[in-house]
Amino acid sequence: MCRSLFIEWYISGMNAAAHTAIVKSEAKRLGFDFCGISKAGFLEEEAPRLENWLKNKMNGEMDYMSNHFDMRLDPTKLVPGAKSVVSLLLNYFPNEKQEDLSAPKISKYAFGEDYHFVIKRKLKEFIFELNQKIGKDVNGRVFVDSAPVMDKVWAKKSGLGWVGKNSNLITKSSGSFFFIAELILDIELIPDGPIGDFCGTCTKCIDACPTDAIVSPHVVDGSKCISYFTIELKGAIPEVQKGKFENWVFGCDICQDVCPWNRFSKPHNEKSFDAKSELLSMNRKEWEEITEEVFQKLFKNSPVKRTKYEGLKRNIKFISSE
């Protein structure tokens, strides 16, 4: 290597190290629990898996999952010139529980403010600070579960955890109750390496799923999942599912609740994710008699708004007749 090329390579490496340190520092300052980096590129191993999953109609009525196939597999199609994918995890494991054990249940991630709002605020500040500390020429996009990005795959590639048999990302130190977000950037950063799979021979998540949605290790048939039925499905819930919902009316945490790694879950530190006391204290009768006025007030800026009032009433009626 000639001297000029060596110097250029050396400076480039020094810049990448410095920029990586800034990224990791900002992630911590903004409250993210984990930050990992991958080199942007085509996800060759995932292409046939995604194609097969879609071919077998495991997306159900989630037609958006089949859109932008190429973009899902290649971040450079989302961000021209992309060189790095920064994966971020934000804990949402609550310190509180719903008080009435017989009441309809909502997933833990929906206890507080919609995570899209919370995380996007953080990511906008993240990009702003990168521009301030690295330079205005840093270009990129931020993603929070609302674009064709295979977030769990990128988090796995960056060493934040492994994808468990229930298809959730699992960390050794804190379990799986995390939101995943990404920054796709056009700057070189030092990538982290993946870690191993620590599920071993455990099949607790597969055995516990009441609708048999986990059809094989690491493969979830989305069209059979309780979360799909209670959130994504717009029509009537199939009668064949009667008696299987175990009181879930928005989302489902069963496969995470039974995972041994979630004994290490720790309560989050994000005030925006705290549940309203009125939500936690609602009994079964109050859920069954919920009015649209109460729904709008109780779930303002909440993920539960996705299912709309009529959708939630449908779900409550479905489990009440089980």
Is the CB of residue 120 less than 8 Å from the CB of residue 302?
no
Q: Left if phi > 0, otherwise alpha if psi is -120 to 50, otherwise beta: which for 80?
A: beta
- What DSSP letter does each residue of 50-72 carry, written as one string? HHHHHHTTTTTT-GGGGTTHHHH
Q: What per-residue confidence (pLDDT) applies to 68?
A: 84
Dihedral of the CA atoms 220, 227, 303, 71 (nearest 10)?
Answer: 30
**Each residue of 55-101: pLDDT tens digit?**
999 999 898 888 888 999 999 999 999 999 999 999 999 999 999 99
Question: How many Å apart are CA 275 and CA 273, to the nearest integer?
Answer: 6
Structure tokens given for 313? 């009433």
Q: Write out residues in the chain with pLDDT < 50, as ranges.
A: 3-12
To the nearest whole number, what is the mean pLDDT of the chain?
Answer: 93
User: What are the structural domain ranges in the chain?
Assistant: 3-95+112-185, 204-320
Greatest alpha-carbon pair distance for the chain in Å reads 78
Q: What per-residue confidence (pLDDT) applies to 9?
A: 38
Q: What per-residue confidence (pLDDT) applies to 2?
A: 53
Q: What per-residue confidence (pLDDT) applies to 266?
A: 97
Count of CB atoms within 10 A of residue 300's CB?
Answer: 12
The catalytic site residues sit at 145
Q: What per-residue confidence (pLDDT) applies to 137?
A: 79
β-bridge mates for residue 38, sequence order: 85
Question: How many Å apart are CA 139 and CA 119, to the nearest integer?
Answer: 19
